[in-house]
Structure 1
């Protein structure tokens, strides 16, 4: 019964969002509440919702100050030299621009933080997309695929960290066999970017591209980017912030609060300017923070009612015992929908131990289950419980339904390819 209620919650949420019958915030809050009442949990909803909010509160704080911080960086022109360099190389060709986006996204995703990655990519590339007329959903889809493939699978990324810790694994033993698969996945993303770029080139038309290319070439030649001392300061500050993120000097929300305060004082020393900046960029941050808190309510109810646990268990019951040699592959396949629908906490702390325990009965090493589990990360990165996704959507100016309709096919194709790459490279195996 709980499993059915969980799936109905997901179905209702997706229906409301993708048919635009409700906003994402309204849908993500109301859907679990309805089915929690039906399941008889009405009297416990308050504590359940608050537990979920507590879980995502640090993320909400992080996103608030990260958006404000990168708002200052964009206003200061920090990424203008990058955009100008890409424009010079691409010369207005959508194929080169989209492939360049993929390469940049894969490199930036190494830092392990989705919010930071999306902001850097959008800051550098979105002005170019708008100038040429390339669909910003292309940028969003590539960014999500890169983040899920790189950040989602590295030991310093949040998902893998959860899997390694909950199963008590050695990080090196987990990660080293994944590297060939991730390299193959990266080249596959670049290939998909090439295809998407070709499609955009055809859609925009050569005449319009040539016209835009002439304008871009003239603009690049005329407008030299002056790198002031503030840009150098902001570059060093941002680099120091990213290094601190990787090293783990302090929790991410704390780092971004400190970084924001420093950036605000240097770039906007006048109080009136500071107030205006917060007002302008705060309007972008508030909807994102609301959605993260709504996602906390969604996760809190599904976790506390044990709907998530029952959904994972029911997935296992449909696997015949004769399929046991393929159990690792089955886990990889199961991770795709579960990662899309669940938060990483719910999947890796709730579902993955159940899957690993079942695999142990077939003599399968838990480390392979952990590797299989992270294959669903590209799909998780475009799911409703991925907090950085809301930042990405706000930056490209698209809603969740639009994005998922465009990106789902590309991300599913990548996910299937990752399973094949994992088998071919030995990251996961079939127990013949």
Structure 2
């Protein structure tokens, strides 16, 4: 559920969909709620996609297309998804044993039976006017086409989304006034992301044009033995997840990563490898436990789990997922060991 919900790349939406739906089941069975939080965080963390924040930031900071960044990482991501499924199975079997439910129907008996409850949300007239149930399959096809275009072609995500938005508005809301209303309803979030990217572009442009990036990279080169230069992406991949606890995404991707990437380039390491190593953990597997993201606190509050308990339980597993994907990148030749 969390994996599918996170297809839009929004952690808060993922947690709002997954945790309230599964929490009653966990409470009724007496299961450890840290597992609910942990598997939700792990599922969202390994599901980084071309349109997620870290990928877009890495692309903008180094002027590399998200297609070139993402496609080589697909085998490593599959390994991360397999790790996620295995961890879910392990936690489930562990709880089954702890609760003494092995070999029996966990919902049998009055103590674990569910009362028939219906949760019906009454839509307002305004919300009903926006619904398009008859357009469901057309919209699904449009989403699949956009995802396929971004993943399997070199067409810019900007172009893909702009064309898809135009088609979606024309098909679902032919009336111009309704189109304006839909755009205005989401303009704040869209403009916020656009302003961040513009500001980040100006920041990195000034640093590059003024020579600051080059100066910092030259200073860093003196501390890196040339024989170890090829290991930079591997090391970044190993520590990228813990870096989420120290740097927020903008600070890292627009301040720290360009320096590391330029340092690597001066030592013969492609900058794209540093970016790929970064997205294996920095605010991907790391964002659900980072105190620097509001989504972490939302996840804990929804499940009623203390932040410290969540971090102690989930950090080792999320870090392990990042390490698994890093080694997978080495095995599949994305970057050298």
TM-score (norm 2): 0.68
- Aligned pair count? 265
Deviations 1:283-330 (A, max 9, x none): xxxxxxxxxxxxxxxxxxxxxxxxxx9xx9999876543211212112
CA distance in 2, matches of 1:234, 1:205: 50
Counterpart position of 1:157: 52
Question: Is contact 2:107-2:113 (8 Å) kept?
Answer: no
Counterpart position of 2:274: 369
Q: Give the C-alpha shift of residue 227 in structure 1.
A: 7.1
Counterpart position of 1:90: none
Q: Give the C-alpha shift of residue 429 in structure 1.
A: 3.0
Q: Give the C-alpha shift of residue 419 in structure 1.
A: 0.8
CA distance in 1, matches of 2:9, 2:313: 25
Off by >6 Å, runs of 4+ in structure 1: 226-229, 237-240, 312-318
Give unpaired runs (5+ residues) of structure 1: 1-103, 257-308
Counterpart position of 2:335: 428
Instruction: State which of 312, 317, 320 in structure 2 corresponds to 1:410.
Output: 317
Counterpart position of 1:334: 239
How large is the RMSD of aligned CA atoms in angstroms? 3.6
Give unpaired runs (5+ residues) of structure 2: 144-160, 166-182, 191-212
What is the 5 A alignment of 1:289-368? 319-368=224-273
After TM superposition, the structure 1 stretch with the greater mean CA deviation from structure 2, 415-424 or 207-216, is 207-216
Counterpart position of 1:63: none
Q: Give the C-alpha shift of residue 147 in structure 1.
A: 1.6
Would the alpha carbon gap of residues 399 and 422 (structure 1) be closer, same or farther in structure 2, given more than 3 Å must change? same
TM-score (norm 1): 0.54
CA distance in 1, matches of 2:301, 2:43: 18
After TM superposition, the structure 1 stretch with the greater mean CA deviation from structure 2, 315-324 or 331-340, is 315-324
Question: Is contact 2:29-2:112 (8 Å) kept?
Answer: no
CA distance in 1, matches of 2:26, 2:254: 39
Would the alpha carbon gap of residues 341 and 213 (structure 1) be closer, same or farther in structure 2, given more than 3 Å must change? farther
